[in-house]
Structure 1
Amino acid sequence: MDYITVSARTLDDAITEALIQLSVTSDNLDYIVIEKGSEGFLGIGRKQAVIKARRKVEVVEEEPEIEIPKVSLSEEKEPVKKEHVKKDHPKKEHAKKDYKKQDNKKQDSKKKEYKPETDKKHVVKEKKEAPVAEKKEIELAKVESQTIEACEKFIYDVLKAMDMTDVKVTSHIDEEGALSIDMEGSNMGILIGKRGQTLDSLQYLTNRVANKMQDGYVRVKLDTEDYRRRRKETLENLAKNIASKVKRTRRTVSLEPMNPYERRIIHSALQSDPGVSTHSEGEEPYRRVVVTLVRNR
């Protein structure tokens, strides 16, 4: 397969973009770094990272079959040499029987000394090691009108600094109680950025503005050109492809780092699949989703 050229804000972002475009996992990606990127402010003045990538040729490894030698019952047990026991010495035989009885009594006494409390401790330990249930989401506060005005003013100020004065900003409260802000205008790809990095940065800053304006927690969702819905569909398709890969190869797959919103999409997409399980590993901003095969016991 020929190489494709992918550019992004950072090298990790370029690798992730290549994974999505090629619909492969990180262990099946072959790439060459052409140029490393440098940071900018909200996507302005930055230098893109560039790589060339292609899909690796899959090699399906077959598990070797292990032949278990058949052992006959005659081979499993050694023949008891009863012919060597002399019948002329019944006293010795009786002594052996007494010894066996004494040994059995010792074993019975050991069984009586066994304390069931150890099992209880073991059960308690297993309960402690069980995975902790995810915390419930924070209840959202009612969004006040002054908060909406402050968020819209902040966005207009940022757009003005970026020479994007023809953008229209509209706000409404969605079904979850979050403040949903949509931007309409020309050249909105600049606001989205690679994999939505610029849009996510602006959304984070707007959230900070909203939560300084009032008490309680306010969630702000920023969108343009229906990017959030399109990105969700892409991640859901990626999650299904990853799940099929895990079930086919029986190997755990670790995805590229994602933000909490995108990780929730992956978890939700594979929640109903009984063949795989998902969990997150690492620290922000490098926290990633890991997809594991569920083995039947």
Structure 2
Amino acid sequence: MNQVTTTGQTVDKAIESALKELNTTRDYVEVKIIDEGKKGVFGIFGSRPAIVKVMLKIDPVEEAKQFLKDVCRQMDVDVTIHAERDGKRVFFSLSGENIGNIIGKRGKTLNALQTLTQIVLNHHSSQFLIAILDAENYRKRREESLIQLANHLARKVIREGKQISLEPMPSYERKIIHSALANEDRVTTYSVGTEPNRHLVIAPK
């Protein structure tokens, strides 16, 4: 039950009755006053009870977690999901067996699932939130491998004097390579193309 309509001698008493019925507190509901009621003469004649509609607030993080659980279940992957919110960023950490199915080749499945999770998250949120999805610390390992790749390719560009185009990758992965080579004064990096085929180029200065 997500909502109830209750009555009471006053609006506050009607809300109190609804909270008991929903087994929750004032912080987790939205209240719509249908009728403020009327006290009446001597509190009896012509009185009318207050009527309120009380609805449970939808937690966008919990809705996103449930979405992830449903998707993983359909993929026959048993996962444990830990969610942590830091301002506008919501981190979802997945762990369990066969987690590789969630990550996919070079993280493509994980990236797609992250995009869908963000859509679900913001569908239920009053402010824009950013979903960051990780599985068995894949993001950290991927960042380390991208930094190694960036340094290796930069040395090749310097040695051969020719630019190198990388495969298409998400914007945050391109940013990792941009940052890794930001202090290398012998090469420059830039992105070309349009999403989802936008890719990074490492070129000699």
Unaligned runs of 5+ in 1: 1-143
Shift of 1:251: 1.2
Structure 1 length as normaliser, TM-score?
A: 0.48
SS in 1 for 2:82: strand
Question: Hey, which of these two has a bigger chunk of strand by percent?
Answer: 2
**Is 1:227 the counterpart of 2:138 in the alignment?**
yes
Count of aligned residue pairs for this structure pair = 149
Match of 1:161 among 52, 70, 74: 74
Structure 2 length as normaliser, TM-score?
A: 0.69
**Is 1:261 the counterpart of 2:172 in the alignment?**
yes
**1:208 & 1:177 partners in 2: Cα distance?**
14
**1:163 & 1:254 partners in 2: Cα distance?**
37
Unaligned runs of 5+ in 2: 1-56
| Amino acid in the other structure paired with 2:203 | T
1:141 aligned partner? none
Shift of 1:145: 7.5
SS in 1 for 2:202: strand
**1:255 & 1:201 partners in 2: Cα distance?**
20
**1:163 & 1:288 partners in 2: Cα distance?**
33
**2:195 & 2:167 partners in 1: Cα distance?**
12
Runs of 4+ that moved beyond 2 A: none
**1:276 & 1:149 partners in 2: Cα distance?**
45
Match of 2:128 among 217, 225, 230: 217
Shift of 1:265: 0.8
2:97 aligned partner? 186
Shift of 1:267: 0.7
| Amino acid in the other structure paired with 1:170 | H
SS in 2 for 1:171: strand
**1:248 & 1:217 partners in 2: Cα distance?**
45
Match of 1:244 among 155, 172, 189: 155
**1:177 & 1:270 partners in 2: Cα distance?**
28
| Amino acid in the other structure paired with 1:290 | V
**2:175 & 2:132 partners in 1: Cα distance?**
15
1:130 aligned partner? none
| Amino acid in the other structure paired with 2:76 | D
Tell me if structure 1 keeps the 8 A contact 2:88–2:128: no
> Structure 1 145/266 Cα, relative in aligned 2: closer, same or farther at 3 Å?
farther
Shift of 1:173: 2.2
| Amino acid in the other structure paired with 2:197 | Y
Shift of 1:242: 1.0
